[in-house]
Structure 1
């Protein structure tokens, strides 16, 4: 199944067979599967003030729509992974997208904050299958440098979701109201489901599927947690991403309430950040080919840590220039470290890619829930809390990855 050059064919039962290397169609579909969860989160950020007014809650309380999503997403993935290894990718991806659509339209009709949170929880249950299995599908199809390239190109495309979705959300919120944002996301999920079935379909043939008991599944997760080749890069990547999620939660307060940008200006700001991630994603595989994936990943973590430290060292109410400097540095570091770290985490575990991807997603979303909850804590300047959260998370990531880079006496799998 793993291959490096050519095109993709399809068997009579709809199973995707990769007869070659990366194609634009595969990358776009993988990116769409990975991006829909970010789209559903970031598109609503500019509408937080309007949602708060209509639901009669404090804007800061809407942080619960983020943390509840991340917590549900984290635990649901632990179930999706083994199910996908047993029954294949196609059923889980399509079924998950349909559940996500139901949650999306529930949220669109929410009349209270509790109803909105429930809609977000249903969304998370469904969309986690698309996100976690995007990594597993990539691992099904590719390995080595091809896998690293696939992760990097997917990340570049995925960056358009958190980058451009606030701008789209601002325009839709102004023209049609915040409920239209959820309707738009639901329609996008339906389109992705159709294109997935036609464009990729099944990538895990029956011969490679594994049916495990609950005890065996738990044992596999335990083995992954104790395997330094998995847990150390997985923790490093997840801690880094928790800093990004923290910035999602803090940015509306920083840019709109603090600096005074309008929702449209904030949308444009987010859109401009896409190009930072785009450039870093293009640079990552090239730098990795020249210097090695591990040193480049460590460099990215260090850059992201310095970015968080800038916010801690700067004023409690930073101006647009200071905040932008920190944001650019963090996104550049994240753009280097995330795809390479993900590829390093997944590469040794092709036979259990679903479980490995699920565990990685659990760590990422679980730590993301903690970081967004921390940002929602009242009484402290958002910039300072964001800086502390990002620098602390990245410092821990650097520690984990430095240990990972040390020579190991662990026998090869």
Structure 2
């Protein structure tokens, strides 16, 4: 069964919306430290803060924004978030001081619509198509990051940071129009695999199995912002003028993506997730440690290729690992914590990266980051490899009891079952190769018939 036209339109428009917003956040990364020198009051530490401060407001507001969308609807939250994002972009575009840019970037992060978009994907797609829809959103994020690294230096060559932020504001307003006129507005659905719930968040904060992954994404995005505190100036020193940085990032990112694909296939199809994640982390660590001694442009080309290869591997693998080990009915809350850690990492990476650069220089920054990645790889080596399970949500029945849940857990491929009466839904963790959706639905329906005949 293929998605209908409404589902296809919804997924394409929501993926585009997410990608355009992330594009606006990421475009400044490769140019802030060079173009920002012209801002009044600029220092390496404050420019680093300007790069990463969006992560702080995003981390603080994304879970509350998702909860608000459950109450007042997805579209009002998305439109409000995009307008806040546009306002932040205008403030940054019209500011000549570093503090104005910091305020603008903080507002950009305050337009936290990620949770509402993911919840709307759930509202607009059927269960059997949801995995593909979420994968499309994930792919759009990765694509937006790559495009941002190429587009940012190109736009800066015409109009500096002012032009980048102005384009970002236009993209945000375009997103509002798409939300109003293109994306359908269905009633909100409760779905624990797509949105966070406060009691479950508290439980998952105590779940020790999640924290190596939460720390991993925190570190990965801290690195992402911190290295761009130093790399643009290093490329200029190596002989590559700022307006040509796009021509370096383009082939490097393309080759890194091609190199990533076979290892992702090995991780998923051959169930070697742990080995691939550790491999990716060690590739990143090697690149960072060698960046401390890089001197020529060719050194930087090779090391950036290694870095983005490892980065792409971990960026794709860590959320997949988390979705495999998140308990039944807790995936949305676990992903909410994970995403908050991701954005907090960006904030700390920019803030601390700028301070280390100003106090100790680029080589110490790179070597210090590399050492942190090695420590995290050692932590992951002591972590159990994930079972390759997927989350499934099935319609429940008001009479579903513990014996029925036990019968569901006894089905081939079912590892865990949870019934939520408030949603009248059953959440399962299953092995996709062994699980039969039809058998599970038959069991649930027969339970309902049995209880119905006794009434």
Q: Where on the TM-score scale, by shorter chain, does this alignment land: which range?
A: 0.7 to 0.9
Q: Give the TM-score, by structure 2 length.
A: 0.72
2:168 is paired with a residue whose SS is helix
Structure 2: runs of 5+ lacking an equivalent: 388-414, 419-455
Question: Which residue of 148, 167, 181 corresponds with 1:184?
Answer: 167
Question: Which residue of 342, 355, 360 corresponds with 1:364?
Answer: 342
Supply the RMSD in Å over aligned alpha carbons: 3.7
Number of aligned residues: 386
- Indicate the residue corresponding to 2:317 in structure 1: 340
Question: Which residue of 282, 287, 295 corresponds with 1:305?
Answer: 282
- Indicate the residue corresponding to 1:115 in structure 2: 100
State how 1:109-188 maps to structure 2 within 5 Å. 109-126=94-111, 128-129=112-113, 131-137=114-120, 141=125, 147=131, 153-188=136-171
| Contact 2:36 2:98 (C-alpha < 8 Å) held by counterparts | no
Deviation at 1:373, TM superposition (A): 2.5
Deviation at 1:252, TM superposition (A): 1.7
Distance 2:368 2:3 in 1: 46
2:99 is paired with a residue whose SS is helix
Deviation at 1:327, TM superposition (A): 2.2
2:31 is paired with a residue whose SS is helix
- Indicate the residue corresponding to 1:237 in structure 2: 217
Deviation at 1:123, TM superposition (A): 0.9
- Indicate the residue corresponding to 1:380 in structure 2: 360
| Contact 2:73 2:188 (C-alpha < 8 Å) held by counterparts | yes
- Indicate the residue corresponding to 1:6 in structure 2: 2
Instruction: Give a deviation string over 1:212-244, Cα, whole Å, max 9, x none.
Output: 9x9x72x43221112245444333333333322
Where relative contact order (Cα < 8 A, 6+ residues apart) is larger, the structure is 1
Distance 2:218 2:127 in 1: 21
User: Does structure 1 residue 247 correspond to structure 2 residue 219?
Assistant: no
- Indicate the residue corresponding to 2:80 in structure 1: 95
1:107 is paired with a residue whose SS is helix
- Indicate the residue corresponding to 1:287 in structure 2: 266
User: Does structure 1 residue 29 correspond to structure 2 residue 14?
Assistant: yes
User: Does structure 1 residue 324 correspond to structure 2 residue 301?
Assistant: yes
- Indicate the residue corresponding to 1:220 in structure 2: 200
- Indicate the residue corresponding to 2:403 in structure 1: none
2:240 is paired with a residue whose SS is coil
Deviation at 1:65, TM superposition (A): 0.2
Change in Cα spacing, 1:74 to 1:220, as seen in structure 2 (3 Å) is same
| Contact 2:152 2:164 (C-alpha < 8 Å) held by counterparts | yes
User: Does structure 1 residue 195 correspond to structure 2 residue 178?
Assistant: yes
| Contact 2:48 2:229 (C-alpha < 8 Å) held by counterparts | yes
| Contact 1:47 1:170 (C-alpha < 8 Å) held by counterparts | no
1:178 is paired with a residue whose SS is helix
Distance 1:314 1:65 in 2: 24
Distance 2:119 2:331 in 1: 5
Q: Which has the higher helix share?
A: 1
Distance 1:28 1:401 in 2: 40
Distance 1:44 1:406 in 2: 33
Q: Which has the larger radius of gyration?
A: 2
Distance 1:201 1:357 in 2: 25
- Indicate the residue corresponding to 2:24 in structure 1: 39
User: Does structure 1 residue 267 correspond to structure 2 residue 239?
Assistant: no
